[in-house]
């Protein structure tokens, strides 16, 4: 029987590529001259394994037979979702798989910035403890009003952790959820009510720079910000300006607007904790994400997956 044609437009683990090649007639999108390659080879491609490749109208036009997209990533800011849906193409991502580890990372960053853990480590290593027996006091998340921007799969996983710690949970998003947390119609209202705000929302035109000067000012000089969403959700210029005038107590950022480039002013400020987009970066979760790409495509095409197929999380 003829195998379905699947295009791999993603850097995936070697074992994942081997599994795709076993199940499908696998084609590899070249990094150079991709448009020319698609013009010659796009017809007949029925599945797409995706990571960061831009899926715009031009790519969709070059793949007239496309039925399903399986994205290794949770974020879909590289995908023209309305155009995909208009074509009736099934769109699957891994947000349900990486949610727990991203929530763990967000909580770790929140604890690190509110308790000054990174600088405290340096304090001990520098031999300063004997000279200064009492390190400066941090803040207690257990006593805070904590706001989550984006109460999706990741946001809910994070809220459960924060609630177990005793924090009072607030959230903001386009829709009110059937939860007992306090809802805010705007990020500004959320920031005004909270001591700590954690961003977990997707990057869209509506959320781009949605946490800017007004929201940071509302959070105030004793407030904290954590971003595990996407870098452009935060107006980095506004954050830099606020930090320069002591308008915020601290921030922990796992994502940046022009990553891997990070503003030097961020690097120089010890009140900022900076990590290299490692929210989902555990061996277990990254393998599960890669496995899901294979399993989702296999289930769509009625193939026997190497694993028991997980429920498909269609966008």
Q: With beta carbons less than 8 A apart as the criterion, state whether 65 and 88 touch.
A: no
CA dihedral (197, 198, 201, 207) in degrees, to 10, reads 40
**Beta strands 196-199 and 182-184, pairing class:** unpaired
* Alpha-carbon torsion (199, 203, 206, 210), positive or negative: positive
Q: How far apart are CA 299 and CA 69, in angstroms?
A: 12
Two tokens at 154? 């990741």
First to last CA, the chain: 30
User: H helices of 197-310, where?
Assistant: 213-219, 236-244, 264-268, 283-300
Q: Which of 22, 15, 81 is nearest to 298 (CA)?
A: 22
| Catalytically active residues, by annotation | 230, 259, 277
Q: Residue 125 burial (CB < 10 Å; 0-12/13-18/19+)?
A: exposed
Question: CA–CA distance from 83 to each of 5, 51, 60, 148 (Å)?
Answer: 21, 18, 8, 29
Q: How far apart are CA 308 and CA 299, in angstroms?
A: 10
Q: Which of 226, 217, 218, 278 is nearest to 250 (CA)?
A: 226
Task: For the beta carbon of residue 243, count every other beta carbon within 10 angstroms.
Answer: 19
What is the three-class DSSP state of 264? helix
Question: Dihedrals φ, ψ of 90, to 5°?
Answer: -70, 130
């Amino acid at each position: 029987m003829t195998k379905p044609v699947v295009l791999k437009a993603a850097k995936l683990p070697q074992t994942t590529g081997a599994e795709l090649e076993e199940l499908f007639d696998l084609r590899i999108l070249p990094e150079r001259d991709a448009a020319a390659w698609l013009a010659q080879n796009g017809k007949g491609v029925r599945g797409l394994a995706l990571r960061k490749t831009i899926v715009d109208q031009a790519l969709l036009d070059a793949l007239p037979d496309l039925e399903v997209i399986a994205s290794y990533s949770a974020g879909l800011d590289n995908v023209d979702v309305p155009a995909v849906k208009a074509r009736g193409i099934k769109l699957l991502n891994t947000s349900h798989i990486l949610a727990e580890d991203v929530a763990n990372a967000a909580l770790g960053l929140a604890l690190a910035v509110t308790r000054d853990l990174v600088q405290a480590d340096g304090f001990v290593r520098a031999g300063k403890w004997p000279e200064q027996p009492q390190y400066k006091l941090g803040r207690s998340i257990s006593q805070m009003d904590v706001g989550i921007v984006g109460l999706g799969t990741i946001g809910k996983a994070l809220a459960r952790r924060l609630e177990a710690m005793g924090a009072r949970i607030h959230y903001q998003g386009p829709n009110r959820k059937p939860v007992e947390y306090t809802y805010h119609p705007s990020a500004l209202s959320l920031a005004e009510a909270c001591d700590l705000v954690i961003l977990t929302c997707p990057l869209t035109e509506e959320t781009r720079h949605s946490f800017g000067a007004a929201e940071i000012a509302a959070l105030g000089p004793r407030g904290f910000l954590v971003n595990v969403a996407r870098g452009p959700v935060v107006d980095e210029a506004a954050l830099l300006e606020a930090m320069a005038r002591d308008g915020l107590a601290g921030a922990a950022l796992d994502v940046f607007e022009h990553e891997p480039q990070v503003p030097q002013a961020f690097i120089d400020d010890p009140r900022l904790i900076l990590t290299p987009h490692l929210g989902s970066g555990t061996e277990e979760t990254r393998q599960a994400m890669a496995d899901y790409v294979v399993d989702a495509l296999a289930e769509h095409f009625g193939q026997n997956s190497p694993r028991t197929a997980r429920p498909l999380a269609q966008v």
